[in-house]
Structure 1
């Protein structure tokens, strides 16, 4: 029983000391201070390792595009997130991956495969803005904290079941149900993070003088490239529940609804880059 009470107290403390808010959306999130404190250090170390293991592009024109767009997004981000400790760096990696990423500490990587898909600076800005939004919203630390909390809850559940009079089969069934529910919850958080990064990323890109409409055109191309057919009914529900990203149609509709909001921001910001 002592173990059970200790774990329960740990959960209470996690909830008390780990709450923060995403400034752009107002969403409350639970982040463990110990995880947050190590964010930049972890990001810088990870990026250093990536630069050692991945081939850095020697294409000067493409690299210049990534750095040009990246630095404008950085300036937009810094207006609302004065990241004085960030060591900003935008690196183009030679790979067919249609992807990009951002790490705490101001480190951003773009793959040459992505540049083959984007039609220009506006679409590239949408992607870079999205990736940096994951960092400014501390999504990585939030997921790590959620996983830690889920592990603690699992220990509490196991401890509590140990004191119950249920049979072994019933106990296994309960733990299996918990595992499935926890996994589904974490996946939902991942989808929510993607949607939040879409919204904030569009804000960052628009504030840097890039057309928010590019978010719609880019994700339509991504959806077409994925080659997934449109599911419906129960299949669509299962696919959404087990995915780490929101459904393409849902994502694109959300982005389309946001364009009118950020178009004036874009129109005003682009004047300073003429």
Structure 2
């Protein structure tokens, strides 16, 4: 009888835990998710990790490329804040204290911490080749922060850990501790594979949101396709995403191509003059234009 009562109480506790949290809507896609961690908690952890990283990172000595990263980042930040303000999400803006850094690291990478702390590695610039492609990448990274993917992943892991603990305790009461330990290990391994899919979903959503953000900021979304083709060539062009936390190159490019008609509408309505696709070199100076249009709309080449 006690075992049955314990089982029922455990199931009730698990149900209540799963139901708690704050439900919010992801900008642009409109997807709803329930988060178990607050913005304040995520931002506190994010700021700690960002500060730790920047203490050991070496900032780029290339003034032109550093200025380009800051210019593109600020323009995206303005577009993102404008979108949030115009869509009833103005309160979210307080969560962002934007910073844009170029670091002397030849890895092909970039990231945006929750709170808007953006880091670009110098090794990425030969692959982006121009400001518009850089905007696509930074839009993608900013999208992770705006969509609160870090908080969502933390929340999922919290639910999984709690479910594993409850399940192990219940099974221990019914079938003995040895069986419970085996079940717990299997559950944890299963969650690891599930999280790969969660991460792929987040990457696909960040591609979607980031492309729209770049278009809102006046960067041609069409450059996303050749950029990801260059990335695919760099990585060997893997066809499978079963054991990856990113979509396969083929799926990613196809999804972006499908989004281009929608992104182009935001691009046409952005009010920015077209950005010239100038190749980025070690000492290249960008000639991108970031001024607003006045009078007639400019024609794109």
**Cα distance in structure 2, aligned partners of 1:30 and 1:248:** 29
User: Which structure: greater helix fraction?
Assistant: 1
Q: Secondary structure at the match of 1:241?
A: coil
- Tell me whether 1:75 sits opposite 2:85 in the alignment: no
**Residue 130 (structure 1) aligns with:** 140
**Residue 105 (structure 2) aligns with:** 95
**Residue 233 (structure 1) aligns with:** none
**Cα distance in structure 2, aligned partners of 1:125 and 1:145:** 29
Q: Could you say which structure has the larger radius of gyration?
A: 2
The 5-angstrom pairing of residues 18-167 of structure 1 reads 18-34=22-38, 36-81=39-84, 82=90, 83-165=93-175
For the structure 1 residues 24 and 113, does the alpha-carbon distance in structure 2 shift closer, same or farther, using more than 3 Å as the test?
same
Deviations 1:10-67 (A, max 9, x none): 5523423233221321212221144x32122222222222211110111100001101
**Cα distance in structure 2, aligned partners of 1:263 and 1:90:** 26
For the structure 1 residues 3 and 138, does the alpha-carbon distance in structure 2 shift closer, same or farther, using more than 3 Å as the test?
farther
Deviations 1:234-253 (A, max 9, x none): xx4xxx33211111100100
For the structure 1 residues 102 and 174, does the alpha-carbon distance in structure 2 shift closer, same or farther, using more than 3 Å as the test?
same
| 2:205 aligned residue (196, 221, 227) | 196
For the structure 1 residues 229 and 26, does the alpha-carbon distance in structure 2 shift closer, same or farther, using more than 3 Å as the test?
closer
Runs of 5+ consecutive residues of structure 2 not aligned to the other structure: 85-89, 274-290, 294-301
Kept in 2, the 8 Å contact 1:40–1:104? The answer is yes
Aligned length: 264
* TM-score, structure 2 normalization: 0.81
**Cα distance in structure 1, aligned partners of 2:213 and 2:60:** 26
**Residue 245 (structure 2) aligns with:** 244
For the structure 1 residues 187 and 9, does the alpha-carbon distance in structure 2 shift closer, same or farther, using more than 3 Å as the test?
same
Q: How far 1:118 sits from its partner (Å)? A: 0.9
Deviations 1:122-176 (A, max 9, x none): 00000000000000000001101111111001101101111223794x5555444
Runs of 5+ consecutive residues of structure 1 not aligned to the other structure: 231-235
Deviations 1:69-113 (A, max 9, x none): 111100111012341342211010000111100012221110100
What is the RMSD computed on CA atoms of the aligned residues? Answer: 2.2
Deviations 1:221-267 (A, max 9, x none): 1111001454xxxxx4xxx3321111110010000111111112112
For the structure 1 residues 221 and 160, does the alpha-carbon distance in structure 2 shift closer, same or farther, using more than 3 Å as the test?
same
